[in-house]
Structure 1
Amino acid sequence: MSKTKLLMVGNGMAGVRTIEEILDRDPDRFDITIIGKEPYPNYNRIMLSNILQNKMTVEETIMNPYEWYEARHIRLITGDKVVKIDREAQQVETEQGQVVDYDQMIIATGSDAFILPIDGSRLEGVVGFRTIDDTEKMLEVAKTKKKAIVIGGGLLGLECARGLVEQGMDVTVVHLAEWLMEVQLDRRAGELLKKDLEKQGLRFELQANTQEIIGDKQVEGIRLSDGRVLDADMVVMAVGIRPVTKEARAAGLDIGRGIIVDDFMQTSDPKIYAVGECAEHRSKVYGLVAPLYEQGKVLADHITGRPTEGYQGSTTFTSLKVSGCDLFSAGRITENDDIRGIEMFNGIDNIYKKVFVQDHAIVGAVLYGDTEEGNRFYNMMKKGETIDDYTLVSILHKAGEVDAMNVAEMDDDETICGCNGVSKGKIVSAIQEQGLTSVAEVTSVTKAGNSCGKCKGQIAELLEHTLGDGFVANAPTGICACTDLSRDQIVTQIRAKGLKTSKEVRHVLDFKNKGGCPKCRPALNYYLNMVYPTEHEDEKASRFANERYHANIQKDGTFSVIPQMRGGVTDADQLIRLGEVAKQYDVPLVKVTGSQRIGLYGVNKEDLPAVWEALGMRSASAYAKKTRSVKSCVGKEFCRFGTQYTTRLGIRLEATFEYIDTPHKFKMGVSGCPRSCVESGVKDFGVIGVENGFQIYVGGNGGTTVEVAEHLTTVPTEDDVIKLCGAYMQYYRETANYAERTAPWLRRLGFDQVKAVVLDPEKQQELYDRIMIAKAAVEQEPWHDIVKNERKQKIFEVEKV
């Protein structure tokens, strides 16, 4: 029996969670295709502000990596947008001309950031705050510019503004209302929030209406309605969102503010559903994650034939992800003839609590400074519990109580994770039935804590209450949720037990998930390659996509081709070939890279083998956790300040250590004099030529957090540099955690410890000998083999629809 073709239009949090719910109920029912306009797998949009605040990386926001889709046989199309829905033919057409059929379709196109329709809104430097690309634009501007204005003092605007302060910018928030977050907070809470944020460096213009954005091509400032001008290098619009309904409207579906759906998330076409921020249910559009996930569960029940009462709407809550500002808001927070408030303010500690009551039941709550009781109030609201049994003197504590209700006293049906709708009972059952012992494991199994993360403290309390002495809050965590074993414990067991494959490691060491996860699979493959360089057969399926394709995936789904140019040296023949290939394959960008190479950007996946064959050049490892390029200046050969032949040494270093796997990328630089034109002082291994030899620097890197390398030693000859580099790299390979750069590794082990090991003559020789064994075993330049092997070219084929 053929499967039903299910098409998901949208690859965001609501859509992918709905697919997860469907697969949980009936994994074999549908042949699933997902189309997303962004060039990424599903990521946690809630955590974008954490990237700005230097708390997370882009990679850490990914909720469903590419491997997740592959493992579930989901066809994923990224970097492409549905532009036409043909309901009669039951197919959609994308911007890039792909046509996809469906039997049933779910629209989860979400929302776009609302950009104020004022003069100047299209200037360079005006951005929304909605996507990874928006976030990366802001980070890029923050590197060179200083003044930012955020228009909008709501939740998103404040998180963004605080992040830009963290990036070193001078930030002013311009807000139309009398106080911040006026939809979620009352006046007093809004004023407390403003004072705390001002202490953190933010400035505010309240009751301020932006009339115009000023500038020629680039933003220079804004003009307010009172005539004042505020200077700015960047303007961030955080004034709301607008449901994406254009294609649904053109297809003739019923549209209000969003795509109108019934209680089963079904649109006016019974074959089409809508879920998330683009859907309008009972005249309401939701923009918070908890109701969107509730909608996904109902839709999954209905589409798989399970009984469901349907979606009845949601009670929503809000919390702010800014350190030093704890707030919680839920429900209706405006007093009137029917709704009255019970208020407590502690002016000494700046703690404010107010609950809103109608007919003896809580209908809303605002907490600032102490939010521990937020979940309790939220659960009382959801259950319609009256306040009759509570004393009102200390904000709804039962008579005789001193502290807030702890998790032990909560009923099993009370919600712990509001974002994902996970109850105390579900978490306790998972802990007891599946032997969970850490917050990470609970999150992996139940999804509690997987969105905003505010409930992780209560999850830890539940673990402690459920397990008693079996839970140690500060116990070292494992390399992933599949195991409690640390990196050192795993490597020790690999050596001691002679484990030779990742599968063997997971079974013998009793991983909870015997199939592994996207975090442990590449890590185990690396550790096995490191321990058994000549015996372990590389598990290519465990590698990240860039390493499987031997190319970097770009934001639009195309790839970059970076040929090797050791020492940044090329010749006329190579340049001619690069130009000819770029013309032949209509390459949109040919660029000199920051690593002294020439890259072809925008190459289609299916063209990669042919492009490499036409080039006839070796690949640089510009895409992998390996030895990267070795930058070098012209040195003594041409420069009048040069003291050493640095180009020659750079070429030797790259040739000696190329293609060797490392825990993370490993960059090197060789400068001919202390002027250090190639920035050797911010490289993992930096060399600076001086009159009496070569100064060696280690543990540096550029990036969002610049790390200055430390001076290790000075050696007299090129051979000494090569040997010391090999010893240092091998010690890093043998002792670092997978995905750990040399800077944090050096801090963790201690500079003096590393120095003592790699400068000890006997240990240095042993380490160098081991890395030479690894070099001899490593797979050489991959494309030379791929272009001659049709079987290996299969992964580059693209299905034509």
Structure 2
Amino acid sequence: MTSRQHVLVIGGGLAGLRLAQRLGPAADVTVLGEESRAPYNRVLLAEVLAGRFAPEVTALPDPGPALRRGVRAVRIDRAERLVHCDDGTVEQYDTLVLATGSNPVLPPLRGLFELEGAGRELPDGVHAFRTMDDCLALSEALRHRPGVRAVVIGGGLLGVSAARALAARGAQVVLAQQGSRLMERQLDADASALLLTHLTALGVEVHTECRVRGLAAVPVGERRTVTGVDLADGFRLDADLVVLACGVRPRVGLAQAAGLALGKGVLVDDELRTSDPRIHAVGDCAEHAGQAYGLAGPALEQADVLAAVLQGRPARYAGTRALTRLTLADGARPLDLAAFGEPTPRPGDDVVSLADATRRTYRKVVLRGDRLVGGVLLGELSTVGALARTWEGDEPLDDLFHLLTDDGGS
């Protein structure tokens, strides 16, 4: 890439802005950001909802004039190398980068949308939890309705984060998880049980193996307002608020309409290049080697690699070993959680675990030969840095006890 080539980035989130920052002021870069507000870090939304951070704290570095806010790309013309926007403008590109992120998964629930007439508007009181607007709308509802009854649908990382934030704001929270345990993608059974105990202590009522069938809503003027959540067993949970935290899926509509190769996300190679060599993809919308991550760490790493590729430096993306971290506040006794790799062992793997019920700490690692392949830590994370470095570097283990105890360092 020369400084005269125009790099057009669709997406003003973490990945797109990181790429623009890494390319630097010498590059000719334009970023199209669909949201009109200043860019922010989605990772911190739960802290904003909980009232611990002001929205301003989540701000990302100001990209300056490179960012066009409140502009949505609606069509890619690959033959002419043009992107058409919803405000009628047309942007030319030499290199196009898709950083379109992901959309929240809206489950197929009865009553979620009107069958006819009103289109696909959610009933009042029903919220996804993906954007700052979602977060502020939930916060506003909590401010005017103390003791509000909130049902969170989904017991993964997003659902757990939303539930503890709502509880911190004084809501009566019920969490409905279809699976057999909380955060089943990241945690083993023992760690999930400890997490359940902690959420219960926060006042969250947790139901696992609980399938939600639909929503109950009543007409209020020309709108509908949610009143409850119907479960498959016929029981109804009364609700003033419902939070849909059922995961995310890559946002690939533009890529699909443009005829790019898709899997779960936009398929990319080790240079983050799509099936069109002039178009790249990074972040939540990208799928590399069968993996669509949906996490901040891989998005940042992909942006860094792509910046180097576009600048003509040797760089390849080989995948990211992602570490999940979460803090659950409980007054003066927060519960810190970290998980990485494969916390569930395969046949032949070795497992080493340390637990202290008094201190509410739990540490478990999975070994495959002399390699660390996964682990879970709750309550005390002083060793997570050393463990993560060993795991990320795929290094042979010399002293596991040193890594598992406080002496391992962070």
Same fold at TM > 0.5: yes
Note the alpha carbon deviations across 1:263-313, whole angstroms, 9 max, x for none: 0001111111100000000111011111111111110111110112x1011
Distance 2:140 2:51 in 1: 14
Task: Verify the 8 A CA contact 1:11 1:41 in the aligned structure 2.
Answer: no
Output the amino acid matched with 2:340.
A
Residues 250 and 285, structure 2, Cα contact 8 Å, conserved in 1 = yes
**Aligned mates of 1:167, 1:96 — CA distance in 2:** 39
| In structure 2, distance between residues paired with 1:155 and 1:32 | 34
What is the rounded CA distance, in whole Å, between the counterparts of 1:306 and 1:262 in structure 2? 16
Q: Secondary structure at the match of 2:28?
A: strand
Q: Which residue number in structure 2 is paired with residue 664 of structure 1? A: none
Describe the shift of the 1:17–1:338 C-alpha distance in structure 2 as closer, same or farther (beyond 3 A): farther
Q: What percent of counterpart residues are identical?
A: 35
Partner of 2:203: 201
User: What secondary structure, in the 3-state scheme, does the structure 1 residue paired with 2:84 have?
Assistant: strand
Q: Check if 1:89 corresponds to 2:80.
A: yes
Alignment pair present for 1:279 and 2:283: no
Cα drift, residue 172 of structure 1: 0.6
Matches within 5 A, 1:623-702: none
Q: Which of 99, 105, 120 is the matching residue for 2:96?
A: 105
- 1:591 aligns to what? none
Aligned equivalent of 1:150, options 129, 149, 152: 152
- Residues 165-564 of structure 1 aligned to structure 2 (within 5 Å): 165-216=167-218, 217-308=224-315, 310-323=316-329, 324-387=334-397, 389-390=398-399, 396-397=401-402, 403-406=406-409
Q: C-alpha offsets along residues 342-381 of structure 1, whole Å, 9 cap, x if unaligned? A: 1121122221111001122100010111111111111111
The aligned counterpart of 1:126 is: 126
Contact persistence 2:383–2:405 (CA under 8 A): no
Residue type of the alignment partner of 1:108: A
Measured in 2, the distance between the counterparts of 1:117 and 1:94 equals 30
Amino acid across the alignment from 1:397: H
Deviation at 1:242, TM superposition (A): 1.1
- Per-residue deviation, 1:200: 1.4
CA distance in structure 1 between the aligned counterparts of 2:288 and 2:191, rounded to whole angstroms: 30
The answer to whether the 8 A contact 2:39-2:60 is kept is yes
The residue type paired with residue 179 of structure 1 is R
Which consecutive residues of structure 2, in runs of 5 or more, have no partner in the other structure? 113-121, 219-223
Residue 404 of structure 1 aligns to a residue in which SS? helix
Please state if 1:56 is matched with 2:53. yes
Q: Which residue of 2 aligns with 1:638?
A: none
1:80: Cα distance to partner?
Answer: 2.2
Following superposition, the deviation at residue 118 of structure 1 comes to 1.4
Which residue does the alignment assign to 2:39? 42
Q: How far, CA to CA, are the matches of 1:301 and 1:179 in structure 2?
A: 41
Structure 1 residue 167, shift from structure 2 partner: 2.2
- Tell me the distance in 2 between the aligned counterparts of 1:119 and 1:155: 25
Closer, same or farther in 2 for the Cα pair 1:303/1:337, shift >3 Å?
same
Secondary structure, counterpart of 2:260 in structure 1: coil
Deviation at 1:2, TM superposition (A): 7.4
Determine if contact 2:383/2:406 at 8 Å carries over to the other structure. Answer: no
Indicate the larger mover: 361-370 or 161-170: 161-170
Does the aligned pair in 1 maintain the 2:227–2:238 contact within 8 Å?
yes
> CA 1:273–1:402 in 2, change beyond 3 Å: closer, same or farther?
closer
CA displacement at 1:339 relative to structure 2: 2.7
CA distance in 1, matches of 2:215, 2:51: 29
Distance in 2 separating the partners of 1:319 and 1:195: 18
In structure 2, C-alpha distance between the alignment counterparts of 1:131 and 1:358, rounded to whole Å: 39
Q: Deviations over 1:191-218 (max 9, x none)?
A: 1111112111211111100000111211
Please give the alpha-carbon distance, in whole angstroms, between the structure 2 residues aligned to 1:290 and 1:211: 34
How much does 1:254 deviate? 0.6
Give the aligned residue type for 1:377: L
Distance 1:403 1:352, change over 3 A: closer
Query: How far apart are the structure 1 equivalents of 2:407 and 2:181?
Result: 29
Residue 295 of structure 1 aligns to a residue in which SS? helix
> In structure 1, what is the Cα distance between the partners aligned to 2:171 and 2:300?
35
Distance in 2 between residues matched to 1:396 and 1:281, nearest whole Å: 35
Q: Counting strand residues as a fraction of each chain, which structure ranks higher?
A: 2
2:10 is the alignment partner of 1:9: yes
How much does 1:144 deviate? 3.0
State how far apart, in whole Å, the 1-side matches of 2:23 and 2:232 are.
50
* 1:242-262 Cα shifts (integer Å, max 9, x gaps): 111001110011111100000
Matches of 2:359 and 2:292 in 1, distance apart? 37
Runs of 4+ displaced beyond 6 Å:
none
Tell me the amino acid that sits aligned with residue 201 of structure 1: G
Q: Tell me if the contact between 2:382 and 2:406 (Cα under 8 Å) persists in the aligned partners.
A: no
Q: String of CA shifts for 1:609-666, please: whole Å, max 9, x gaps.
A: xxxxxxxxxxxxxxxxxxxxxxxxxxxxxxxxxxxxxxxxxxxxxxxxxxxxxxxxxx
Letter of the 2:64 counterpart: Y
Distance 2:170 2:377 in 1: 30
Aligned-partner Cα distance in 1 for 2:134–2:94: 34
How much has 1:233 moved relative to structure 2?
Answer: 0.9
What CA distance in whole angstroms lies between the structure 2 residues aligned with 1:2 and 1:326? 45
CA distance in structure 2 between the partners assigned to 1:220 and 1:339 by the alignment: 48
What is the deviation of 1:46?
0.5
What is the root-mean-square deviation of aligned Cα atoms in Å?
1.6
> Are the structure 2 counterparts of residues 2 and 289 from structure 1 closer, same or farther at C-alpha, using a change threshold of 3 Å?
closer
Q: Give me the whole-angstrom Cα distance separating, in 2, the residues matched to 1:273 and 1:402.
A: 43
2:178 maps to amino acid: L
Q: Which one has a larger percent helix, Structure 1 or Structure 2?
A: 1
How far did residue 166 of structure 1 move?
Answer: 2.3
Higher normalized contact order (CA 8 Å, seq sep 6+, divided by chain length): 2
- Residues 212 and 231 in structure 2, CA contact (< 8 A), matched pair in contact too: yes
Letter in 2 for 1:166: A
Deviations 1:778-797 (A, max 9, x none): xxxxxxxxxxxxxxxxxxxx
Task: Look up the match of 2:118.
Answer: none
Contact 1:364/1:381, CA 8 A, preserved across alignment:
yes
- 1 CA distance for matches of 2:131 and 2:343? 30
Consecutive unaligned residues in structure 1, runs of 5 or more: 407-457, 459-801
1:41–1:64: 8 Å Cα contact kept in structure 2?
no
TM-score by length of 1: 0.47
Report the counterpart of residue 69 of structure 1 in structure 2. 64
Q: What is the number of equivalent residue pairs in this alignment?
A: 389
Q: Is the alpha carbon distance of 1:402 and 1:369 closer, same or farther for their aligned partners in structure 2, counting shifts above 3 Å?
A: closer
